[in-house]
Amino acid sequence: MSLAGERPLLRVRGLTCWYGPQVGCLDVGFDLWPGEVLGVVGESGSGKTTVLGCVSGRVVPTAGTVEFTTREGDLVDVLRLSEAERRRLARTDWGVVHQNPRDGLRMGVTAGANVGERLMAVGARHYGTIRTAALDWLAQVEIDADRIDDLPETFSGGMQQRLQIARNLVTRPRLVFMDEPTGGLDVSVQARLLDLLRTLVADLGLSAIIVTHDLAVTRLLAHRLLVMRRGQVVESGLTDQVLDDPQHPYTQLLVSSVLQP
Partner 1 sequence: MSDYNFAFLDEQTKRMIRRAILKAVAIPGYQVPFGSREMPLSYGWGTGGVQVTASVIGPGDVLKVIDQGADDTTNAVSIRQFFTRTTGVQTTTRTDEATLIQTRHRIPETPLAAGQIVVFQVPIPEPLRWLEPRETETRTMHALEEYGAMWVRLYEDITRHGHVETAYDYPVVVNARYLMRPSPIPKFDNPKLDRCPALLLFGAGREKRIYAVPPHTRVRSLDFEDHPFTVETWDRPCALCGARGVFLDEIIVDDKGGRLFVCSDTDYCGRRRQAGGDLA
Cβ closer to partner 1: 131 or 219?
Answer: 131
235, exposed or middle or buried, with CB in 10 Å at 0-12, 13-18, 19+? Answer: buried
Contacting partner 1 within 132-151 (CB under 8 A):
149
Of 62, 92, 110, 232, the one binding partner 1 (CB under 8 A) is: 110
Residue window 53-92: x/- pattern of binding to partner 1, with contact defined by CB under 8 A = ------------------------------xx--x-----
Q: Which of 117, 180, 214, 235 binds partner 1 (CB under 8 A)?
A: 117
Contact flag: residue 1 with partner 1 (CB under 8 A): no
Q: Which lies closer to partner 1 via its Cβ, residue 76 or residue 151?
A: 151
Looking at beta carbons only, is 33 or 155 nearer to partner 1? 155
Q: Write out the residues near partner 1 by the rule CB under 8 A.
A: 83-84, 87, 106, 109-110, 112-113, 116-118, 120-122, 125-128, 130, 149
